[in-house]
Amino acid sequence: MNTDATQQDQSGGPATGWWTEAVIYQIYPRSFADSDGDGIGDLPGITARLGHLAELGVDAVWLSPFYPSPQADAGYDVADYRDVDPLFGRLEDADKLIAEARAKGLKVIVDLVPNHTSSAHTWFRAALAAGPGSPERARYVFRDGLGPDGDQPPNDWQSVFGGPAWTRVTDPDGRPGQWYLHLFDTGQPDLNWDNPEVQTEFLDVLRFWLDRGVDGFRVDVAHGLIKQADLANWQEPQEILSGNEVEKPRPPMWDQDAVHEIYREWRRVLDSYDGERILVAEAWVEPAERLARYVRPDEMHQAFNFEYLLASWTAPAQYAVITRSLEATDGVGAPTTWVLSNHDVVRHASRLGLTIGGGRPNGIGIGDQQPEAALGLRRARAATLLMLALPGSAYLYQGEELGLPEHTTLPDEARQDPTWERSGHTQRGRDGCRVPIPWEADAPSYGFGPTDASWLPQPPLWAEYALDRQRGVAGSTYEMYRTALRLRREHGLARGPLEWLSSGDEVLAFRNRALTVLANFGDTAVPPPVGELLHSSAPLDADGRVPTDVTVWVRA
Ligand code: GLC
């Protein structure tokens, strides 16, 4: 058993491991770096670029899925949990990546997708072949259809990507058969987590990657594994999370209490390994108190704070979400986490340049309201400096350190997110935040790979965001991130505590250890806090005041 004293305190005191202070950088493997020029990023590409992450100053990387997959949902449809898709390399490449990351002082977190497999998984193929009532079908959620011919789905649930959450299968004898549940794409059948075989299989998958040396797992759709037993009708369209802050009745497919037992068992497995291996919940659950249940001392270590990601850029909204988030996680002794962008949402450099208030658009395309680029970047930089001064752990999404915007004019023909088709072309989906990132302004595919190939087209404006245009350039977004990460570490900002100095309608200010942090949301410039200006998201004005949409860090 692990005797490391820095594990989360089982008696309810605050946790203190590496992960409580970490800045964790999300790599979306298909879009980070392409070593072989096929237009899709890969593991050797990532390994070759780890130096960038060490220089940036993050503590850990989280890799989105790289497992064998038909790529119906960009790899979140896993056909084999113990291998690497040839698109991304081989298992040895994963080992090499883990070893090189460790040599550079970076932890590695991999993605685990337990809610569903791919329809190409051997289990699902066996379920189709074996027919109704078989133990093979009992690993998934198969039901007879309604109506005299069984041609109506078993209930009214909708898929997150649009359309019904059920698909009817053809039986081995060629006749229409039962229906299977898929909360996401048809290529992602939901597993039946009441089945002990499913539970055992995932304990084994955890061990497989722990034995290979990973430092943790980001758990996909962690709130979805258990469904209400009666599969009651719900009658609501499905969304990952809308940003709606009012409390609603809990849907029968999300956040069921029994899900916590699964994570308690997983936690026991992780704790039996040396080091501090962590579980991170991707759980689109509101309110914050409900989310905090996932990070109780004997469950997961962290959960993504999507309420923070979704909060509007106003002083009252930011104050409310920061306060609520800290209170909720403090209540269970877990670190609060902060996140502004990921592979499922419009990048914050664009989201904050939209004039619409609240919620979030599911993608932006030609014909949609276009973000104001300069305003979006200015606010994104201010939001980032606000976030990186907060106590807890923070998540960054690849490219945000370059100030990268969403690709908001991606041709619809190029779209690959199943959301676009399944929503009947009403929701553009997530491709705009997944475009391969620019490293060198003048190289083919902006340095993403050795050729011009890129699985999603890169816009011409990528050149100005390229790393080589920003590295060593004072005031660039990249250098702003580097400085912030260095100061965050030097001043122990992750440890807090946070003490509010001002929480009005225009200005937020707080103290965190030696620093006073001020963010100006108002229309007029304000004086900075007294002391030495250490960092700011944009220059002060000619009178030495903090302009609108600027955050400053001052040493008192
Ligand atoms: C999570 C992933 C998302 C994926 C979905 C289904 O929300 O972040 O990209 O489409 O789960 O696996």
Ligand 1, atom 3: closest residue by C-alpha: 344
Q: Which atom of ligand 1 is nearest to the CA of 115?
A: 12
Cβ-Cβ contacts under 8 Å for 69 (sequence gap 6 or more):
75, 76, 77, 78, 79, 85, 118, 120
* pLDDT at position 41: 98
Ligand 1, atom 12: closest residue by C-alpha: 76
- CA distance readout (Å), 70 to 118, 416, 431: 8, 13, 17
Pocket-forming residues, ligand 1, beta carbon under 6 Å: 73, 76, 113, 184, 220-221, 240, 282, 343-344
Catalytic residue among 282, 286, 307, 344: 282
Cβ pair 395, 440 in contact under 8 A: no
CA of 442 to the centre of ligand 1 (A): 33
Ligand 1, atom 7: closest residue by C-alpha: 221
Q: Which atom of ligand 1 is nearest to the CA of 240?
A: 7
Annotation says 220 is catalytic = yes
* pLDDT at position 245: 46
What's the pTM value of the predicted model, to 2 decimals? 0.96
Q: Which atom of ligand 1 is nearest to the CA of 161?
A: 10
Cβ pair 402, 478 in contact under 8 A: yes
* pLDDT at position 355: 82
pLDDT profile of the chain (556 residues), mean per 10: 43 82 98 98 98 98 98 98 98 98 98 98 97 97 97 96 95 93 98 98 98 98 97 78 56 95 98 97 92 97 96 96 96 96 97 75 93 97 98 98 98 96 95 98 98 98 98 98 98 97 97 98 98 98 98 97
Q: Which atom of ligand 1 is nearest to the CA of 185?
A: 6
Q: Write the pLDDT tens digit of every residue in 306-325.
A: 999 999 999 999 999 999 99
* pLDDT at position 4: 41
Annotation says 282 is catalytic = yes
Q: Is the dihedral of CA 276, 400, 89, 73 positive or negative?
A: positive
Cβ-Cβ contacts under 8 Å for 425 (sequence gap 6 or more):
412
- Distance, in Å, from the CA atom of 302 to the CA atom of 426, rounded to the nearest integer, reads 34
DSSP assignment of 278-332: EEEE-----SHHHHHGGGSTTS-SEE--HHHHHS-SSHHHHHHHHHHHHHHHHTT
CA of 76 to the centre of ligand 1 (A): 6
Ligand 1, atom 2: closest residue by C-alpha: 220
Catalytic residue among 85, 220, 286, 401: 220
CA of 215 to the centre of ligand 1 (A): 21
Structure tokens at 258: 């029994």
CA of 417 to the centre of ligand 1 (A): 11
